[in-house]
Structure 1
């Protein structure tokens, strides 16, 4: 792949770190903070991040499993989060090559429609099955998830950053 000028070469991602960050996001979502409609879904943010940066390791199957775990935890309709996360992962993998050419703030703008679509899928399933409308505060969650994108990018790419002091034996 041709790199942009000034882009730093990253080390390979450690699979233990990838799956550990996914499990940590799942545990954070499962904290008993009370589930408000405006709260960002950290599993969705981390899932999109790894689907963009490591599409061969984290894909639609992992999204489905984490979605089922969230459904069971929240006692939601079985498959509600699973379908949402699966669609989210599919669309993230679809745009991953294009998305990596942009800066991190531009990436946040471009993943915003993905988060809106994921919440729309969850809301549609909830409403079709006779659930109540959670209110317009639901529109805050995709915005918060997009605002978390730069923070998650910095934190999850930190272990892959190379030493910034190249020398004659280590030109990269």
Structure 2
């Protein structure tokens, strides 16, 4: 019950943009037909929607979704809809999630990440595409398993003290 509370510095908007761009570049990597490749844009977008909902909202989610649709040469708007719904869900639960421990947060964000995988899956099936297999839906669970890693990495710049001092415990 007495876990340490960190006083976080304000987030740098350039770091948010850098992390979203890096996630987009990771999604551009040619992973091929590997099973369980996470959607890094969805993971980083969910993180910033939970931690900074006023700086990263549904408009950015929609724009990133359109970029992913263009990259994947898929139906224009399927990732945009998925990311917008993911962003809406994250903004809805962001106050509750931040009070949970990092392990419980994983289970709280899992339905959002799996839902973000289900939306393009259903849209593709409704438009007559071939069935991609149930392995396609595993990606959401892999993203949820990466939530603690993403949380630690993306909060690192905010945890460092502005002026380090050996006599100050925070």
TM-score by length of 1: 0.91
How many angstroms apart in 2 are the aligned matches of 1:114 and 1:147?
13
Instruction: Indicate conservation of the 8 Å contact 1:37/1:134, yes or no.
Output: no
Which region of structure 1 is more displaced relative to structure 2, 56-65 or 36-45? 36-45
How many angstroms apart in 2 are the aligned matches of 1:80 and 1:37?
20
Q: What is the SS of the residue equivalent to 1:32?
A: coil
Instruction: Indicate conservation of the 8 Å contact 2:31/2:37, yes or no.
Output: no
How many angstroms apart in 1 are the aligned matches of 2:22 and 2:103?
24
How many angstroms apart in 2 are the aligned matches of 1:30 and 1:162?
31
- Structure 1 residue ranges without an equivalent (≥5): none
Instruction: Indicate conservation of the 8 Å contact 2:50/2:93, yes or no.
Output: yes
Aligned to 1:159: 157
Give, in angstroms, the shift of residue 138 of structure 1: 1.7
Give, in angstroms, the shift of residue 132 of structure 1: 1.3
Aligned to 2:76: 78
CA RMSD after TM alignment:
1.8
Change (3 A) 1:24 1:99: same
Give, in angstroms, the shift of residue 35 of structure 1: 4.8
Aligned to 2:131: 133
Give, in angstroms, the shift of residue 171 of structure 1: 7.5
How many angstroms apart in 2 are the aligned matches of 1:6 and 1:166?
18
Aligned to 1:66: 64
TM-score by length of 2: 0.92
- Structure 2 residue ranges without an equivalent (≥5): none
Give, in angstroms, the shift of residue 30 of structure 1: 0.6
Which region of structure 1 is more displaced relative to structure 2, 82-91 or 136-145? 136-145
